[in-house]
Structure 1
Amino acid sequence: MGYDNFNQSNNAQSKGLLASGWRPLNRDLDIGFFANIVINDTWSLAKRSADFVSDVADALSRKQYSWWANILNVFSDSVQYEFNELWNFITPDPASPDRRHKDVLVAQTPIVQLVSRDSIPIDYVLNRLEEITVKNILEILGTPDLITQYYWERYFYFPPERFTTWERLEVLGYVSAYWKEYDIWVQVETFEKGKRQYTISAPDLAPLINKATFDVAVILSGYKSRVGKINSEYPIRSFPAEIQSFTDRVQQAILSEQQVAVLINGEPGTGKTVWTQAIAKEVLMPLGYVIFILDHDAVENFVPPSYLARICLIINEADNLAKNRALESAQENSKTEHILGLLDGTLYQSVIDESGIHLQQKLVVLMTCNTTDRMDPALLRKGRVDFTYEFVHKFV
């Protein structure tokens, strides 16, 4: 594509922005900013000014054209380009995201799942969780105070009163939005196949993330993997009195400790799994915990997202995972080290990504098993598991 065709194409797209509600953003002269340039960058100002004056002089001095044609030539593209360069130099850039903000959350949408029979789609589910979190944050924030777009070397702005949804906002370049109340910036970029990337930055995103992930549960188990809401069929008050008393002790520890691990054992039908669901729904969800239900394969590859402040891991049939490593049967298929790493925090805290949000996470681990006889002694020792309890009443 030649330059003229390329220029015409981008001009047509710019007209599309104008037709969809965007307006050109005029850069205003700031006396203080201009004075700072005059004092501290005199040479660059003089050079750019000379380039502009030279172009104007060339436009007016053409001898082969009449005087009125030369005056019209002052408004040519080349002269206008030099003027815009000079004007952009002596005026401050429009407001843009503050790169000094320490909390950054990035998500792409839509998230596409690659179906595989060989592995649980952990990356897909965690990316889906991140997408839902960002969308919920945008819904909480509502209409921005400022919306700008930089496209084809021009700035545009979108009147906030005309804003409806992000999906209906035309994005061709880089869109920036700002909420003064929260001191939050959002940057939106468009990629091929209609994909968009949302980047949220703020001095402190944790409160908004907590609101955006309220009542969220994630199940990582083969084709059942998905992000949804917490469901509990049986309330805690429907359990026997001794289990309710045990639940009270666990709840108190959750309120006061940074990390709590609970191991429930008992025969099938004694209500172990439904108890974990009940405590997740009635105790952890109101406290802002995001619930992750992990099956055997997910345990091996799961790393808790660093932007979540409170996480609960539910691991059923833990006796088939954390087998005693001294037994021969545990040599071939044991995930004991991964369970221990999750309980110790070493599995995911040994290396921290340089970007994004890193919180001092509160962690609750709820494990169920039929028997503790086959479990590795390292998992059962004090300091890794805080509470153990045997369910003996047939509940289901």
Structure 2
Amino acid sequence: MDNGYDNYYPRYQQPTSQNLLGSGWRPLHRHFDAQYFWQLALRDPWDLIQKALDVCSDVANAVGRNEYSPLANLLNLFSENTRYEIDEFWNSITPPPPGPDYTFQNSLSTETPIQQQVSRDQIPIDYVLNRLQEITVLKILAYLGRPAQIIQVFMDRYFYYPIERFSGWEQIRSLGTVYAFWPAHQIWLQIETTYQSRRRYTLMGIDLKPLIRKVTYNLAVMLSGYQSRIGQIQSPYPISSFPAEIQTFTDQVQQRILQQERLAVLVHGIPGTGKTVWTQAVAHELLIPLGYVVFILDHEAVQEFIPPPYLERVCLIINEADNLAQNRASEVAQQSSKTERILSLLDGTLHQSVLDEEHPHCEQKLVVLMTCNTTERLDPAVLRKGRVDLVQEFTHRYV
């Protein structure tokens, strides 16, 4: 008889080991190690004896049932329950397969695919930054290529995936927790399947910074309302096309970039003098080759942006700073917190006052490039010594 309720709510099928075996995984057999067993016996002999007696009792119960024939008892010895008890004892006296070292200082995690929450009242900054982190993790995995081993733990059983069959992480079926290892880089990968078949990739290593810097080379992020995007920085005019005084100023900027951990530069001039394209040229020709990731922030993004802590080198381009960091003596500035936000970005106090839990040892180099039409509307605190290091007026009209 057809039941409409059962059709509407299909029966849940419990995932089993057969699902993994059918998708290419193979059982991982643990081997006896005399030294490991001896250390185990010395550390807690009574616990070892108790486990041995328990498994012997289970075997005796399997073969000593009076109400069944000897053949039935023999078959029961090979049943799934008895096998599980024997495997559990074997796993307790044999060394486990190698797993990730959670003492590694560096880790980077992302859940993929990233889903965007659309809202009229919220600029999707979090989505773009999460997408950047996802891109970084996936690029690292693509760079690392085929690992030395792939192991999965499912229902207390270990499986391995034949390395020669590996063609990409999207092809790997996961029901439990997957671990992979690259010994040349000393990097572990942990994959956990989350809600609706989404996956969380976590990279753990002694030092992930060189890999992050390599895979984020030439990356730029524009945070501007619903036009936010991730791509490459564009530079329509090279530095050599600017007037001589601007090229000399650019040389000073380059020298300071190499000398300082934090640098803030302000260029001002009437519209059409090439301020914005100069910041793009500096980012493209000077900062990108040094491994900086460029963020172009508009007015709203400035209020919500915090530099991602896993990036070692960050460049912020803030255009029309005179409309952002206005003199707090004015009525307009008193109705907004943008001036304080700019000051905290320049000071670095916004994100250095609290250490990030996942990146406690991150030392981030920061370059801030700001443009404005006039410095008269800027809050005096912005131009105070120690916040803005270099100031230059642009007078040559490009447009």
What is the identity, as a one-letter code, of the residue corresponding to 2:141? L
Q: What are the equivalent positions in structure 2 for 1:177-192 lying under 5 Å apart?
A: 177-192=180-195
Separation in structure 2 between the aligned mates of residue 111 and residue 121 of structure 1, nearest angstrom: 12
1 CA distance for matches of 2:168 and 2:72? 48
Match of 1:54 in 2: 57
1:22 is aligned to 2:44: no
Deviation at 1:259, TM superposition (A): 0.9
Where structure 2 has 5 or more consecutive residues not aligned to the other structure, the ranges are 1-10
Determine whether 1:272 maps to 2:275.
Answer: yes
Does the 8 Å CA contact 1:37/1:90 hold for their aligned counterparts?
yes
Q: CA deviation at 1:178?
A: 0.2
Match of 1:130 in 2: 133
1:215 aligns with 2:223: no
Tell me the equivalent position of 1:288: 291
Secondary structure of residue in 2 paired with 1:378: coil
Aligned to 1:118: 121
In structure 2, the partner of 1:248 is 251
CA distance in 1, matches of 2:333, 2:89: 73
Kindly state the Cα deviation for residue 48 of structure 1 after the two structures are TM-superposed: 1.0
* Distance (Å, rounded) in 2 between the aligned partners of 1:48 and 1:287: 58
| Distance in 2 separating the partners of 1:323 and 1:159 | 62
Distance in 2 between residues matched to 1:35 and 1:85, nearest whole Å? 18
Which digits, 9 at most, give the CA deviation of each residue in 1:89-111, with x for residues without a partner?
A: 10111111111111110111111
CA drift at 1:361:
0.8
- Give how far 1:320 is off: 0.5
Kept after mapping to 2: 8 A contact 1:23/1:157: yes
Is structure 2 residue 392 aligned with structure 1 residue 389?
Answer: yes
Aligned mates of 1:385, 1:289 — CA distance in 2: 19
TM-score, with length taken from structure 2: 0.95
Deviation, structure 1 residue 64: 2.5
* Contact persistence 1:60–1:67 (CA under 8 A): yes
CA deviation map 1:179-209 (0-9, x unaligned): 0001100001112223111000011111111
**Aligned-partner Cα distance in 2 for 1:167–1:71:** 43
* Secondary structure, aligned partner of 2:314: strand
| Residues 1:334 and 1:65: Cα distance change in structure 2 (over 3 Å) | closer
What amino acid sits opposite 2:370 in the alignment? Answer: M
AA aligned opposite 1:38: A
Determine the structure 2 residue equivalent to 1:107: 110
How far apart are 1:355 and its partner, in Å? Answer: 2.1
Which letter maps to 1:306? Answer: P
Choose the corresponding residue for 1:92, options 95, 105, 120.
Answer: 95
SS at match of 1:164: coil
The answer to which of 350-359 and 296-305 deviates more is: 350-359
- Matched-pair contact (CA < 8 Å) for 1:104–1:357: no
Deviates more, 1:15-24 or 1:143-152: 15-24
2:68 equivalent to 1:65: yes
The letter for the 2-side match of 1:10 is P
In structure 1, list runs of 5 or more residues that go unmatched. none
**C-alpha contact (below 8 Å) 1:307/1:358 kept by paired residues:** no
Tell me: CA distance 1:357–1:159, structure 2 relative to 1, closer, same or farther (3 Å): farther
- 1:338 and 1:59 map into 2 onto residues whose CA distance is 72
Aligned residue pairs total 389
1:203: which partner in 2? 206
Report the counterpart of residue 8 of structure 2 in structure 1. none
Does the CA-based 8 Å contact 1:105-1:357 persist in structure 2? Answer: no
CA separation in 2, counterparts of 1:232 and 1:252? 21
Instruction: Please tell me the residue identity of whatever aligns with 2:334.
Output: Q
Choose from 7, 15, 23 the match for 1:10. 15
Q: CA deviation at 1:309?
A: 0.6
- Return the offset for 1:21: 1.3
1:27-46 Cα shifts (integer Å, max 9, x gaps): 11111111111111111111
Residue pair 1:307, 1:357 contacting (<8 A) in 2 also: no
Partner Cα distance (2:319, 2:229) in 1: 17
Moved more, 224-233 or 311-320: 224-233
CA distance in 2, matches of 1:256, 1:273: 24
In structure 2, the CA distance between the partners of 1:83 and 1:334, relative to structure 1 (3 Å rule), is closer
Which whole-Å deviations, capped at 9, do the CAs of 1:50-99 have from their partners, x for residues lacking one?
11111222222222333333222221233212211210110111111111
* C-alpha contact (below 8 Å) 1:231/1:281 kept by paired residues: yes
Contact 1:107 1:130 in 2 (8 A): yes
For 1:264, what is the secondary structure of its paired residue?
strand
In 1, Cα distance between the equivalents of 2:221 and 2:269? 25
2:15, 2:175 within 8 Å by CA — same for their partners in 1?
no
| Partner Cα distance (2:287, 2:318) in 1 | 15
- Check whether the contact 1:217–1:290 (CA below 8 A) recurs between aligned residues: yes
The answer to whether structure 1 residue 150 and structure 2 residue 153 are counterparts is yes
Paired residue for 1:360?
Answer: 363
Secondary structure at 2:309 match in 1:
coil
Identical amino acids, percent of aligned pairs: 59
Deviation of the 1:260 alpha carbon: 0.8
Pair 231,358 (structure 1): closer, same or farther in 2 beyond 3 Å: farther
Structure 1 residues 124 and 68, CA, compared in 2 at 3 Å: closer, same or farther? same
**Aligned-partner residue type, residue 247 of structure 2:** Q
Cα deviations by residue, 1:198-230 (Å, 9 ceiling, x for unpaired): 000011111111011110001111011111111
Residue 357 of structure 1 deviates from its aligned partner by 5.6
**Distance in 2 separating the partners of 1:194 and 1:83:** 33
Residues 270-279 or 70-79, more deviating: 70-79
Letter in 2 for 1:9: Q
Which is further off, 144-153 or 112-121?
112-121
Q: Which residue among 162, 168, 171 is the counterpart of 2:174? A: 171
User: Among 163, 166, 169, which residue is 1:160 paired with?
Assistant: 163
Is this contact kept in 1: 2:65–2:73, CA < 8 A? Answer: yes
**Does structure 2 retain, via aligned residues, the 8 Å contact 1:323–1:334?**
no
Change (3 A) 1:356 1:382: closer
